[in-house]
Amino acid sequence: ITDRDALLRQYFEGPQDKSHLTTEMLLPPVQAFDDAHGVRRLSTKGLFKTVGGYGGGPFVSVRSFLNNGSIGTADALLFAPGTSKNRLRMELDLITASVVWE
């Protein structure tokens, strides 16, 4: 989570000056390991928020520990105010889980 938050702060700007995205820890993220295509993966699901601004929503992140020692990460954020997010979040789950690293 710490690494993900550092990347969010560096690469994702919030809507206001000096605002940035981070993981919402009031409802801690859920993590689970699995194996797919012979690769060990860590899936993280939780909520993100904007520090110094407004906005947030669910996220899903899949970190793949590749056989050559490198790590591949697919991270998806969903910001859709006023919209039911269940179907959209399921689509993000499928998209991030289907990434194959070579």
**pLDDT confidence of residue 102:** 76
pLDDT at 24 over 90: yes
pLDDT digits (tens, 9 = 90+) for 40-82: 999 999 999 999 888 899 999 999 999 888 999 999 999 999 9
CA distance 80 to 12: 17
Three-state SS annotation for 70-93: CEEEEEEECCCCCCCCHHHHHHHH
* Domain interval for residue 19: 2-97
Q: How many CB atoms lie within 10 A of CB 65?
A: 15
pLDDT top residue among 12 and 94: 94
Q: Please tell me the distance from the alpha carbon of residue 86 to that of residue 16, in angstroms, as a whole number.
A: 28
Query: Residue 102 falls within a domain, yes or no?
Result: no
Domain count, the chain: 1
